[in-house]
Amino acid sequence: MQNSEAMALSAALLAVAGGLTQRINEGVVARGFEGLRPAHGFAFARLAPDGATVTDLAAHLGVTKQAASQLVDEIVRKGYAERRVHPLDARARLIVLTERGWACTRAAEEAAAEVVRGWSDVLGEGEVQALREQLGRIAPYGPIRPAW
Amino acid sequence: MQNSEAMALSAALLAVAGGLTQRINEGVVARGFEGLRPAHGFAFARLAPDGATVTDLAAHLGVTKQAASQLVDEIVRKGYAERRVHPLDARARLIVLTERGWACTRAAEEAAAEVVRGWSDVLGEGEVQALREQLGRIAPYGPIRPAW
DNA sequence: GAGAGATGGTCAAGTAGCTTGACCATCCCG
DNA sequence: CGGGATGGTCAAGCTACTTGACCATCTCTC
């Protein structure tokens, strides 16, 4: 594969990723959840299963724990999460989603599903499934949040 | 397709995009071009063919023209581009890449090709070609720079 | 042509999200 | 028990971006 083709693939990938992020965010706003940025979505994804500590979140987002703490301040103030005492470590706080936080997470899922449905209309269901499988195989580990 | 699958696809896509961006940037740095951020790469991509005006660049990057102007200041100061008089409009300046700017662009292409080669090792050349074609079909128009 | 509004660009100041540095509370381990 | 490691916060600073104001030049209409 030539460099120019690699660039075409890269550009398309980044454009799709950017559009997806934007449209998920728009979908979340349209469902009544305001004052949130895409970075919050990445935090919610980490908090969703069982909660997480600030340090966990920082590693997941690829930022300092101070930055993660500020982000938690923000989503707590806006009613999407709350700080609880950690059951196993008195130093730590367990950050968990509130009901509103869960509702917002579901809204993000719906918005994402809506975008993906648009892709199915273009590519067909099978190709989208293949896309999911292929991207899963080349996805790197490490912090989730794209660092640009 | 269920919402959870849409989320899995979205997460994989964003992870791949984030990893790609990071690795291209690392590759560019490794080739001796310092002081550049991913946003500069998106600017170079727009400048590369024939140059562009600050306003063009701003629209392409999805930022204000003031921000684009500052970014141009920076790449001019670092020797990657220069401001020329616009041949058709005395108000405008045509921003064009210097030889160093072109060298950096080629370095980014090489770095991208390197990453894509890694994908070929996992997926096979044919699947990567298919990926390129499919992503090209679902890529949105509008500003290129992912807005998160 | 001549004036009025639109457009390209820059200067200046403010903002938001991140960083580094310092610090305290608690945990873990010899 | 004592000392280092770890979780978290407070404070201050940095930087990429924004909004607002302004000038030069283009373009349209009369």
CATH number of A18-138: 1.10.10.10
Q: For every one of its 148 residues, what pLDDT tens digit does chain B have, with 9 covering 90 and above?
A: 677 889 999 999 999 999 999 999 999 999 999 899 999 999 999 999 999 999 999 999 999 999 999 999 999 999 999 999 999 999 999 999 999 999 999 999 999 999 999 999 999 999 999 999 999 999 987 666 554 5
Task: Tell me the per-residue pLDDT of A108-131, one tens digit each, with 9 for 90 and over.
Answer: 999 999 999 999 999 999 999 999
Which 3 state secondary structure label does DSSP give A95?
A: strand
Phi/psi at A53 (nearest 5 deg)?
A: -90, 165
Q: Which residues contact A3 (CB under 8 A, 6 or more apart)?
A: B106, B109, B110, B112, B113
Which CATH topology does B14-138 take?
Arc Repressor Mutant, subunit A (1.10.10)
**Bridge pairing between strands A81-85 and A93-97:** antiparallel
With DSSP H G I counted as helix, E B as strand and the rest as coil, what are the percentages for chain A, rounded to 5? 65, 5, 25
**Which residues from chain A sit within 8 angstroms of residue B143, using beta carbons?**
18
Q: What is the DSSP letter of B117?
A: H
Q: How confident is the model at residue A3 (pLDDT cuts 50, 70, 90)?
A: confident
Please give the residue of chain A at the shortest CA–CA distance from B115. Answer: A6
Please give the residue of chain A at the shortest CA–CA distance from B2. Answer: A113
| Partner-chain contact B18 A110, CB within 8 Å | no
Tokens at A14, concatenated: 């980044």
- Report H helices in A1-53: 3-30, 38-47
Distance in angstroms between the alpha carbons of the first and the last residue of chain A:
26
Instruction: List all residues of chain B from 38 to 97 with a beta carbon under 8 Å from chain A.
Output: 38-39, 45
* Closest to A54 in 3D by CA, of A38, A32, A71, A39: A71
Percent of chain A topping pLDDT 90: 90
Residue carrying the six token digits 């946003």 = B39
Of B1, B12, B19, the CB nearest to A113: B1
| Partner-chain contact B1 A117, CB within 8 Å | yes
